[in-house]
Structure 1
Amino acid sequence: MKLLAEKEQEIQRRFELVEALYDSCQAGNLQQVKDRLNQVPEALDGGDYDMTSYYPAHFGRSPLYLSVQEGHHKIVQYLLDQGANPVPHEFAARYHSDDFTDWMGAISQRGHHHVLSLLKRGIEDTYGPPLDDRNFHHHIRMRDVMTVKNMVEEDSQLLFQVDTVGNTGLHWAVESDNLKMVRLLVDAGAKLDVRRGDGRTPLAVAIFGFHRYWRRDEKSEIIQYLISRGASQSLIIASARGDLKLAREILQQDSTAADRLDPMRRRPLSCAAEIGNEKIVALLLEHGADPNSRELMCQGGYALHAATANNHFRVARLLLEYGANPQHWVDSSGDPIIIAHYNQNAQMVQLLYSFGATTEIQFYASEYRIDVVAEILKLKPTACNDVLPYQWKKPWNQPELALDIMSLAVRYGASFENEGDYKLINTTLAYPQVATFLYQHGGCPSKVLVRAASGFHLANLDTLTFLVEDRGADVNFINQDQLTSLAKAAAAGKADHVSYLLSKGAEVSQSEVPYWKQPLYLAQKNQHWEIVSMLQ
């Protein structure tokens, strides 16, 4: 118990150091950034810590992203000099779209021209020359083979131009599932193993998909073609494809590859576990793969969660036998026991419990299990502040029981002054009477109003009315991201919300808020012209 307590204290210490680093990046204090990054060097491209005790949704941010937002060019230069990825993973892993260049456009519009030049130089040095006015990638996405052919014949250097997240034309051709275009580009000399900002090669895009790390969007014909043309197959590729023969060959040459973090920040073990390939999972474990080794947004490892989520029982058991921790969270997807409950896989739930898994108290609250909540609080009264669930189980027809559960938590000392807006808004939507109780015990309705104004989780005008008129939410409250409820409504195109907030005294402009976070700017940026007229 003493060792566990000491570990949790160390986790909390590093948690606070990373938070402090983020604060320094936003404030523009270069010396503090240097000092704090020296203490937590693993946070260079985003917070990274043991997730046993904490859920780190906001740790997906990176120091570079925060510094760029505020225009702190000296910090941006320092972070790039330290080896920071010039493509922050907030964008590289999540936000691929045709208008993605808005990342650079927004920086320019904010007047951060020095920052923009630093980023462009960093991207060019790391990934390749930027797209020019010919917009080569657009024609690839439009599947215009003849135009692309003519452009490449005229200038083969177009093959190596990259967009703002490091995609080459070949990445886009693969994403478009256009084998004819892929053949054209490869024949013309496109690099097969070039990596974009999140570390994916064209072959990796063909296997894993274009977007977030867990999404599989396999394109078998393109995979076979790229391999036939010589695309490199690392152990992570062999594991994801279920190629046992290749996996053995790679491990015979280099056994340390079994637990090596790929540039995509994934590991072979989780890729094999995800497809339920027990033989490759066993092979990797025998060669030293650690099921708890960190991965992108899965600091306690993704293998067990992947096996559980896909109902691969035998693989999950094997991982647990090799010491997989059943308590690690994965991004916003919970831990293995939560996903097993969600899948209604009783056999998997039993397996996880038999290896020491426990379910968070908030899960029992969400399931209206007041009996279990009461037993946990009796044994651990300090868990009272963890009772409020992320979401209440539907149908939302048990308001009295939900209120009893939260009343029990308060009797043990729970308060909600520091509660985030996510849990509060979900309770507000499910059970307004329970939300009223939470606001009476410290919850901040103004903070929730900002999130609700965008229509989050179907929040509507009734939600806003409840928060403002019943709970006294401040329509001019500015949240930690320097956004107001009016700004969120304007950005989301919620004209009825904008009209209501204006009628309640919402200010169109606040001097302490940067202009690019003002309601009018956001409405114009998103082309919500009706709202622009209302605000003008």
Structure 2
Amino acid sequence: MSRPLPEHPSLEHLRKQAKDLLRHARAEDADARARLAAIDRGASGTPATLADAQLVIAREHGFPSWPKLVHHVETVDGGGFVLRPLIRPVELSPGRRWTLADGTIASTDDVFAMFVAARDGDMAAVKRLVAHRPALATVEYNYTPPIHFAVREGHRNVAEFLLNHGADPAYRSYPFQESLLTFAEDRGHMELADLLRHRLTRRFAVVPGTRTIIEAATRGDLAAVEAELARDVTLARSSDETGDTALHRAAKNGFLSIVRVLLAAGANVDAIRGDGYRPVHCALMPNWFFQVSHDTREEIVELLLSQGARYTVFIAALRGDERFVRDALARDRSFANFEDTCHHRVLSAAVRRHDVAMTRLLLDHGADPNLPEEGAPRGLSLWIAVNDGEEMIVRLLLAHGADPNGAVESSGTPMSHAEGKDVALAELLRQHGGRSHRASERDQVARFLEEGKLDDAERLLHEHPHLIHDDEAGWGDGILAGPANRGRHDIIAMLLRLGARVPSVSKWAPYYYFKHEATAAFLLEHGMDPNHMNWHRFTLLHHMAAQGELGKARLLLDHGADIDAIDDEYRSSPLGVAAHRGQGAIIELLLARGADPDAGGASWALPLSWAERKGHRTVADMLQKATGHRP
């Protein structure tokens, strides 16, 4: 006789029952073995599997198979997944001031409330917060705006409101760069996907199936690009849901032959991506991740221009074309403040080239060094000049009112940058209003640690022991983050001896605490939580699974990481995330260590569902074999 399910069944509890049954059977428990014997497991003597145990649990509750039990539970109780309270990052602790994109000040309470309201679909709270501070509609923490949560959780009305108040439909998530449209489609939020698609197609030539040609162009695979064009020549002009095209990628990474092929096939030479970049910008602007020779970049630029790419005064300044710039200024002095579609200005283009004469020319024609640019609400030119040590240009900019205290995204201010780089430039900036950052005890400790002055750092920490547990240290990720990033085990050991610990939640653990495998091992051996996570409850094991980091994944498992933890972002286990990303080797490891192939917070988040939806056929076959479910 079957046992009834409780009124509010939990998949997590049912999965635990199956695991317990299997564990007891393997321990020769007579009752467990008898329960498993009640089902036909094929050949006699075959070791029981987790799929067998799940089938027993399903049949004991009156269902012919585990998938049918899962479907029933999801139908009546949302899959047993309960949305947990949003983790509040330390930088958003109560009662602090937060500068919004429009320069207004909000409290961290309102900022965090905005994220919670968007996630929970609380339309009244969203409207109230935006009415009070309009820029809260697009506020970001760690590159994540409210619309991320609204789309993730399927709140169409909230998402539409945010889009109408400035949210970018071409936004990509951090760190995996997934689009909002992908978020909606993956989670089955089809009405919301239709809304996003409608907004996006008004801006871009969005065509399904562009991923293959874009990826081929990114890696320089000419044969694959040509094969895709032979299949459908319109792919040359098509973009993905963020406006990215194969031409953007080929131009950025210096693949001249692919640029030629795409242009010959009819690619839009001036397609504007979601961030405002055209292919010519991709070819000319700095590429920190893929070094391209100057000659190759110039060949690509010449080719794009010959095919009709718009030649703006910004492009001219980047190329050092002084005649074009002079002619433009003679026609219209306002060109001195021209902002191209990529949200960079002609003045910063001249400064990037260390072009003193052009910088002076632009300033003499009224260029304002404090106008906003990408990542720089108070201008980028002075920061670039300070960074490059261009004293003459620094003097010119300061003489024309450049703000030495204007912050640049993730890079401080020109003044703070100069103080750590060039004493003479710092003094010059100070004379023009630059505010010296008064070094706190925290700053002094950080400096001593960076310089390897352990005795000085330890002395100061003994004098101010609270700094060991300072939430603000390490960019909010803890005092151990910097030394871990540099692989300095000697510094880590000293700090641990004084009581420092890795926090249980941080933003950038994969890139700091787990940057080096040896350092990751050292930290785990000295008490770091193997279930360390970010504010989406995405654990380090999830991240290592996504990135295919076998060694680091083994470390975490060896130290007791929860192999079936379910995160909030993907509602997936580490196995599910690995399936999503097609990481076959990680999947083999996780399955061998006992990962549940059916773990997930929703049917769309199960490992096999991810593999099939993302087209990872080999991975799907592995998971199908692992689940072994009978129809």
1:312 corresponds to 2:367: no
1:35 aligned to which of 100, 103, 128: 128
| Pair 1:352 & 2:406 matched | no
Query: For residue 531 of structure 1, what is the aligned residue in structure 2?
Result: 590
Matching residue of 1:379: none
Deviation at 1:324, TM superposition (A): 1.7
Q: Does 1:402 align with 2:461?
A: no
Residues 1:447 and 2:505 are matched in the alignment: yes
The match for 1:255 is 333
| Distance (whole Å) between structure 1 residues aligned to residue 199 and residue 213 of structure 2 | 21
Residue 143 (structure 2) aligns with: 60
Instruction: Report which stretch shifted further, 384-393 or 28-37.
Output: 384-393
How far 1:321 moved relative to its partner?
A: 1.6
Native 8 Å contact 1:62 1:89 kept in 2: no
Distance 2:383 2:365 in 1: 21
> Larger deviation: 263-272 or 329-338?
329-338
Q: Equivalent residue of 2:161, what SS?
A: helix
Structure-2 change in CA distance of 1:276 and 1:454 (3 Å): closer
The alpha carbon displacement at 1:415 in A equals: 6.3
Contact 2:542 2:573 in 1 (8 A): yes
* Inter-partner Cα distance in structure 1 for 2:536 and 2:404: 34
Partner-residue secondary structure (3-state), 1:467? coil
Look up the SS of the partner of 1:446 in the other structure: coil
Residue 299 of structure 1: aligned partner: 377
Q: Which moved more, 1:195-204 or 1:17-26?
A: 17-26
Matched, 1:425 2:481: yes
Distance in 1, matches of 2:567 and 2:209, equals 37
1:175 and 1:241 map into 2 onto residues whose CA distance is 16
Identity of aligned residues (%): 25
Structure 1 pair 263–409 and aligned structure 2 pair: CA distance change class (3 A) = farther
- The number of residue pairs the alignment matches comes to 484
1:75 equivalent to 2:158? Answer: yes
SS in 2 for 1:304: helix
Shift of 1:84: 3.2
What code does the residue aligned with 2:200 have?
A: I
Is it true that 1:287 corresponds to 2:365 in the alignment?
Answer: yes
1:229 deviation in Å?
3.4
**Of the candidates 525, 532, 540, which is equivalent to residue 465 of structure 1?**
525
Q: 1:340 to 1:418 in 2, by over 3 A?
A: closer
Aligned mates of 1:108, 1:465 — CA distance in 2: 41
Offset, 1:75: 2.2
In structure 1, C-alpha distance between the alignment counterparts of 2:580 and 2:568, rounded to whole Å: 17
Whether the 8 Å contact between 2:360 and 2:396 is mirrored in structure 1 is: yes
Does structure 1 conserve the Cα–Cα contact (< 8 Å) formed by 2:509 and 2:540?
yes
**C-alpha separation between the residues in 2 aligned to 1:299 and 1:317?**
21
**Which residue does the alignment assign to 2:118?**
25
Structure 1 counterpart of 2:310: 232
Whole-Å separation in 1 of the counterparts to 2:507 and 2:530: 8
Report the 3-state secondary structure (helix = DSSP H, G, I; strand = E; otherwise coil) of the residue aligned with 2:504: helix
Are the counterparts in 2 of residues 453 and 464 from structure 1 also a CA contact under 8 Å? no
8 Å contact kept, 2:322–2:358: yes
Structure 1 residues 512-527: aligned runs within 5 Å: 513=568, 516-526=571-581, 527=583
Whole-Å separation in 1 of the counterparts to 2:188 and 2:368: 46
Say which SS state the counterpart of residue 593 (structure 2) adopts: helix
Match of 1:323, SS state, is coil
Shift of 1:402: 0.8
Return the letter of the residue paired with 1:61: T
Tell me the SS of whatever aligns to 1:13.
Answer: strand
Partner of residue 190 from structure 1, selected from 267, 292, 295: 267
Separation in structure 1 between the aligned mates of residue 222 and residue 256 of structure 2, nearest angstrom: 11
Q: 1:455 to 1:534 in 2, by over 3 A?
A: farther
**Match in the other structure for 2:55:** none
Q: Is the 8 A contact 2:254 2:292 kept in 1?
A: no
Q: 218-227 or 413-422, which moves further after superposition?
A: 413-422
2:446 alignment partner in structure 1:
389
For the Cα contact (< 8 Å) 2:468–2:495, is it kept in 1? Answer: no
Query: 1:308-362: per-residue Cα shift (whole Å, max 9, x none)?
Result: 22222211111112222223332223333454466x545434433443434435x
The alpha-carbon distance between structure 1 residues 521 and 323, as it changes in their structure 2 partners (threshold 3 A), is same
- Judged with a 3 Å threshold, the aligned counterparts in structure 2 of structure 1 residues 521 and 150 are, in CA distance, closer, same or farther, namely closer
Root-mean-square deviation over aligned CA pairs: 4.2
Q: Secondary structure at the match of 1:195?
A: coil
* Whole-Å separation in 2 of the counterparts to 1:145 and 1:452: 33
CA deviations over 1:180-218 (Å, ceiling 9, x no partner): 443444455433322011111121112115679999977
The residue type paired with residue 508 of structure 1 is I
Q: TM-score, normalised by structure 2?
A: 0.64
> 2:514 maps to which residue?
456
- Which amino acid letter does the alignment assign opposite residue 350 of structure 2? A
In structure 2, what residue type is equivalent to 1:467?
G
| Aligned partners of 1:291 and 1:324 also within 8 Å | yes
Task: State the secondary structure of the residue aligned to 1:297.
Answer: coil
Secondary structure of the structure 1 residue equivalent to 2:411? coil
Q: Could you tell me how far apart the structure 2 residues matched to 1:524 and 1:492 are?
A: 11
2:195 aligns with 118
What amino acid is the match of 1:13? A
User: SS of the residue aligned with 2:276?
Assistant: coil
Query: Corresponding residue for 2:615?
Result: none
Higher relative contact order, structure no. (Cα contacts within 8 Å, ≥ 6 residues apart)? 2
Deviates further, 249-258 or 272-281: 249-258
Q: Tell me which residue corresponds to 1:55.
A: none
Instruction: Supply the distance in 2 between the matched residues of 1:456 and 1:390 (Cα, whole angstroms).
Output: 22
Opposite residue 303 of structure 2, the aligned amino acid is Y
Equivalence for 1:484: 539
Query: What do residues 219-241 of structure 1 show as CA deviations (whole Å, max 9, x unaligned)?
Result: 11121232233321223222222
Q: Map 1:144-183 to 2 at 5 A.
A: 157-183=234-260
Give the CA deviation at 1:489. Answer: 4.5
- The alpha carbon displacement at 1:85 in A equals 2.6
* C-alpha distance in structure 1 between counterparts of 2:459 and 2:130, whole Å: 45
Separation of aligned partners in 2, 1:173 and 1:242: 23
Look up the equivalent residue of 1:451 and give its one-letter code: A
Assess if the C-alpha contact under 8 Å between 1:208 and 1:216 holds in 2: no
SS at match of 2:450: coil
CA distance in 2, matches of 1:140, 1:432: 43
| 1:331 lines up with 2:331 in the alignment | no
Query: What is the alpha-carbon distance in structure 2 between the residues aligned to residue 211 and residue 254 of structure 1?
Result: 34
CA distance, structure 2, for counterparts of residue 519 and residue 139 of structure 1 = 28
Aligned position for 1:51: none
**Structure 1 stretch displaced more, 293-302 or 105-114:** 105-114
Equivalent in 169, 174, 183 of residue 86 of structure 1: 169
Could you tell me how far apart the structure 1 residues matched to 2:331 and 2:168 are? Answer: 30
Contact 1:482 1:513 in 2 (8 A): yes
- Work out the CA distance in 1 between the residues paired with 2:557 and 2:220: 46
Structure of larger gyration radius: 2
Distance 1:264 1:299 in 2: 14
Do the aligned residues in 2 keep the contact of 1:294 with 1:300 (CA within 8 Å)?
yes
> CA separation in 2, counterparts of 1:404 and 1:171?
53
Q: What TM-score comes out, normalization by structure 1 length?
A: 0.74
Shift of 1:127: 0.9
> CA separation in 1, counterparts of 2:283 and 2:210?
28
> In the aligned structure 2, how far is the partner of 1:278 from the partner of 1:162?
39
Deviation of 1:274 after TM superposition, in Å, equals 1.4
Distance 2:508 2:98 in 1: 36
Segments of structure 1 that go 5 or more residues without pairing to the other structure are 1-5, 48-57, 362-372, 374-382, 469-473
CA distance in 2, matches of 1:62, 1:202: 27
Q: CA–CA distance in 2 between the matches of 1:76 and 1:188?
A: 37
